[in-house]
Chain A
Amino acid sequence: MSEFATTNHYGTETDTRENISRRRTAGTIWRYVFYLSTSIAVMALVILILNIISGAFGYVAVKNTIEPETLSERGAPLTELSSEELIAILEANVSTGLLRRLNFEEPLAERSLDDLVELVRIRVVNPQIEETWNLFPSIFNRREIDEWMNTKAEPGTRLEFRVWLTARFIVSPQNPDPQFAGVRTAILGSLWMILITIVFAFPLGVGAAIYLEEYARDTFVNRIIRVNIYNLSGVPSIIYGLLGLAFFVRIMGPITSGAVFGASATTDPTGRTVLSAGLTLGLLILPIIIISSQEAIRAVPQSLRESSYGLGGTKWQTIWHHVIPASFDRILTGAILAVSRATGDTATLILTGAATVIFIDPRSLFTQFTALPIQIYQWSARPQGAFRNVAAAAIIVLLVLLLTMNAFAIIMRDRIRKRRLM
Chain B
Amino acid sequence: MSESKANSTEFKHKIKVHEEIIRVMLFASAAASILITVGIVVILGRESIPFFADPRVTFREFFGSTRWQPQIEAFGVWPLVTATMMTSGIAMLVAGPIGLFVAIYLSEYATQRVRSWLKPVLEILSGIPTVVYGYFALTFMTPLLRSIFGNDIVEIYNTGSAGLVIGVLIIPLVSSLAEDALSAVPVSLREAAYGLGGTKMETALRVVLPAAISGIAASFIVALSRAVGETMIVSLAAGAGPNFTFNPFRAAETITGHIVRISGGDIGYDTLDYNSVFALGLLLFLITLTLNMISRRIVTKYREVYE
Contact = CB atoms under 8 A, between A and B. Distances in A.
Interface of A: 23-24, 26-27, 30-31, 33-38, 40-42, 44-45, 47-48, 51-52, 55, 203-205, 207-208, 210-212, 215-216, 222, 224-225, 227-232, 234-243, 245-247, 250, 283, 286-287, 290, 314-316, 337, 340-341, 343-347, 350-351, 373, 376-377, 380-381, 388, 391-392, 395, 398-399, 402, 406
A45 B121 contact: yes
Contacts of B134: 377, 380
Given A38-B118, A41-B98, A208 B30 contact: yes
B201 A37 contact: no
A351 B98 CA distance: 33
B40 A243 contact: yes
B33 A208 contact: yes
Contacts of B139: 51, 55, 380, 388, 392
B26 A236 contact: no
Nearest to B25: A207
Nearest to B221: A234
Interface of B: 15, 18-19, 22-23, 25-27, 29-34, 36-37, 39-40, 43-44, 46-47, 97-98, 101-102, 104-106, 109, 118, 121-122, 124-125, 127-136, 138-140, 168, 171-172, 175, 199-202, 204-205, 222, 225-226, 228-232, 235-236, 256, 259-260, 263-264, 269, 277-278, 281, 284-285, 288-289, 291-293, 296
B226 to A, nearest CB: 8
A27 B200 CA distance: 7
Contact of B131 (A203, A208, A380): A380
23 contacts: A37-B102, A44-B168, A48-B168, A208-B32, A208-B33, A224-B34, A225-B30, A228-B33, A232-B33, A238-B284, A240-B40, A243-B39, A243-B43, A283-B36, A315-B23, A316-B18, A316-B19, A341-B127, A344-B132, A347-B256, A350-B264, A373-B131, A376-B132
Given A236-B229, A347-B256, A314 B19 contact: yes
Given A35-B105, A283-B36, A211 B30 contact: yes
Contacts of A241: 263
A14 B256 CA distance: 60
A286 B33 contact: yes
A239 B41 CA distance: 10
A211 B284 contact: no
Contacts of B138: 380
B145 to A, nearest CB: 14
A44 B125 contact: yes
Indicate the member of A33, A215, A241, A242 with the most B CB atoms within 10 Å: A242
A245 B263 contact: yes
Nearest to B281: A242
Contact of B288 (A45, A52, A236, A395): A236
Contacts of B22: 316
B236 to A, nearest CB: 6
A246 B33 contact: no
A287 B34 CA distance: 11
Contacts of B289: 231, 234-235
Contacts of A245: 263
B127 A31 contact: no
A199 B189 CA distance: 48
Contacts of A350: 260, 263-264
Nearest to B144: A47
B205 A344 contact: no
A356 B106 CA distance: 43
B201 A30 contact: yes
A18 to B, nearest CB: 15
Contact of B171 (A44, A208, A345): A44
A344 B129 CA distance: 5
